[in-house]
Chains A and B, each alone.
Chain A
Amino acid sequence: MNTFKLATAAMAAIILSPLPTSAFEPTNVQCVAPADPGGGLDFACRTIGRILSELDLVKGTVQTLNMPGGTGAVAFGYLKSKKAGDPNTMVTGSTIHVTQIAQGKYPGKYDDVRWTAMIGADVGAISVSKNSTLQTLADLAKVIKETPGSLAVAGGSAIGGWDHIRFLMFARAAGLSAEEMKKIKWVQFDAGGPAVTQMMGGHIDVLLVDLSELVGFIQSGDVRILSVLSENPLPDPWDKLPTARQQGFEAVGYNWRGFYLGNEVSDDDYKAWVDIFDKVYKSPNWQKAAKDYGLMPLWKGGAEFEASIKAAVEETRDLSKAIGVIQ
Chain B
Amino acid sequence: MDTLSALALGFEVALRPENLLIALIGSFLGTVIGALPGIGPVNGIAIMIPVCFALGLDPVSSLIMLCSIYYGCMYGGRIASITLGIPGDEAAVMATLDGFPMAQKGKATVALIISGVGSFFGGTVATIGLTLFAPALASLAIYFGPSEYVALFIMAFLTVGGVATKHPTKTLLAVTFGLALSTIGADSQSGIPRYTFDILKLYDGINYIVVIVGAYAIGEYLSFLEEKDPGAVVRPKMEPLKSSYRNAWNDLQRCWGAILRSSGIGFIIGILPGAGPTLASYLGYVTEKKISDKDGTFGTGDPRGVAAPETADNAAAGGAMVPMLTLGIPGSGGTAIMLAMLMSLNITPGPLLFERQPEIVWGLIAALYISNVMLVVMNIPLVGFFVKMLQVPPSLLMPVVMVFAIVGVYSINNVEIDIFLMIAFGVVGHILRKAKVPIIPIILGLLLGDELENALRRAIAASGGDWTVLFDKPIAVGIYAFTLVAILASIWLQRRGKRMEGAT
Contacts and interface: CB of A to CB of B under 8 A. Distances in A.
Interface of A: 36-39, 43, 46, 65-71, 73-74, 77, 100, 103, 105, 107, 149, 152, 154, 158-161, 185-190, 193-194, 196-198, 200-204, 215-217, 219-220, 222, 292-294, 325
B414 interface: yes
B419 to A, nearest CB: 15
29 contacts: A36-B46, A38-B46, A38-B341, A46-B50, A46-B53, A67-B413, A69-B200, A69-B413, A71-B191, A152-B463, A154-B462, A158-B186, A158-B188, A158-B191, A159-B191, A160-B191, A187-B462, A188-B189, A188-B454, A190-B454, A193-B339, A197-B327, A198-B146, A201-B142, A216-B352, A217-B350, A217-B351, A219-B352, A292-B346
B349 interface: yes
A317 to B, nearest CB: 15
B273 A194 contact: yes
Given A158-B188, A190-B188, A193-B328, A293 B344 contact: yes
Contacts of A194: 273-274, 329
B398 to A, nearest CB: 26
B356 to A, nearest CB: 8
A302 B274 CA distance: 42
A69 B201 contact: yes
B49 A74 contact: no
Interface of B: 46, 49-50, 53, 141-146, 186-191, 193, 200-201, 203-204, 273-274, 327-330, 337, 339-341, 343-344, 346, 348-353, 356, 413-415, 454, 457-458, 461-464
Nearest to A188: B189
B200 A186 contact: no
Contacts of B188: 158, 188, 190
A220 B352 CA distance: 6
Contacts of A193: 327-330, 339, 349
Contacts of A161: 191
A43 B454 contact: no
A282 B415 CA distance: 36
A197 B141 CA distance: 7
A187 B454 CA distance: 9
Given A77-B200, A216-B348, A149 B464 contact: yes
B203 A37 contact: no
Contacts of A216: 328, 348-353
Contacts of B457: 188
Contact of A203 (B146, B200, B274, B330): B146
Contacts of B454: 188, 190
